Structures are given as C-alpha cells and as structure tokens.
Amino acid sequence: MRKNLFQNFSEYWYYVRNLSKKQRKFIFESLSKPQQNSLTKSYSQGSWDEVFIRNNINKILDEAKQEYGYDLLGIKCKAISGKSTYVPLAFWDFIVDKTRDLKIEHVQFIFSGIIALPCEKNPDVILITSQKDVLD
C-alpha cells in the first residue's frame, strides 16, 4: 500500500502555494485517486474555500487602497466611532463592482455597520458614515 505524499490539504498547500495554477493542477492530478480524495476532503473540512475567498477580498481592498489611496476598513472603523469620511465615488464603485458577485456573508465584514451617502455639493464624492447614525 502506498503512503500518502501529503497528510492533508494544509501540507499540500504549503508545498504548492507558490506554483502556478497549471503546476498545482499537474501535481494534484499526478497523485493517486485516494490521495486526491483525501486532499479534497481535507480541503472541505478545513474551510479552505473561505480562506481563499477572504484572501481575494483582501486583495481587492489592497488594490483599491493602492489605486485610490483610501483604506476602506480604516474608514469603516472611523465611521463606526462617529467620524464620517468623504471618499471619491470611483473608489466606492470600484469596491462594490469587484465584490458584486460574492456572497453577502463573505463581504459583510466590509460593509456591515456603514452606509454610503451621496454628497449634495459634489456628485463625484460620497460620505461613508455609520449606519447607526443614519437610522437613529
């Protein structure tokens, strides 16, 4: 009987994470069927899909910060503590557009507790404020 090359998905990912998708696929498909099944089961049990989704969301936030110079999670913290912030509408639209196809439970940590309101004086700007302040 052949011993598994990888004990679980975590160990597999440790060795293949820096490889291209094509290389990772090649390695995975070269494993025995029982090893593939074991890794697939470990992947599901370890909620690795959630980790990858969260990493992609973090990349979106980093990309928005790099492109527009605003840190949405920092702005959210300020808004929740009572300090609203004006940001370019393009920044907000970028984040909304990039997260549009994700499930709400995955992006809730970004949007919960805040609301974006149009600026009366400048249509290219929005106000990010606490949802509580608006609804009270």
Domain ranges of the chain: 9-46, 69-135
Question: How far apart, in whole angstroms, are the C-alpha atoms of residue 135 and residue 103?
Answer: 24
The pLDDT assigned to 136 comes to 60
The pLDDT assigned to 4 comes to 82
Tell me the one-letter amino acid at 126: I
Instruction: Indicate the SS3 state at residue 128.
Output: strand
List, in order, residues 6 or more apart from 40 with CB less than 8 Å away. Answer: none
User: Could you tell me how many helices (H) and strands (E) the chain has, helices first?
Assistant: 8, 3
What token pair was written down for 31?
């494993």
What token pair was written down for 14?
């440790």
What token pair was written down for 88?
């370019």
The pLDDT assigned to 131 comes to 87
Per the CB < 8 A criterion, the answer to whether 64 and 91 are in contact is yes
Per-residue pLDDT reduced to its tens digit, 1-32? 567 889 999 999 999 999 999 999 999 999 99
Q: Can you give the pTM of this predicted structure?
A: 0.78
Instruction: Please name which of 60, 124, 69, 66 lies closest in space to residue 94, comparing C-alpha atoms.
Output: 60
> What share of the chain in percent tops pLDDT 90?
88
Confidence at 59, pLDDT banded by 50, 70, 90: very high
Question: How far apart, in whole angstroms, are the C-alpha atoms of residue 16 and residue 74?
Answer: 33
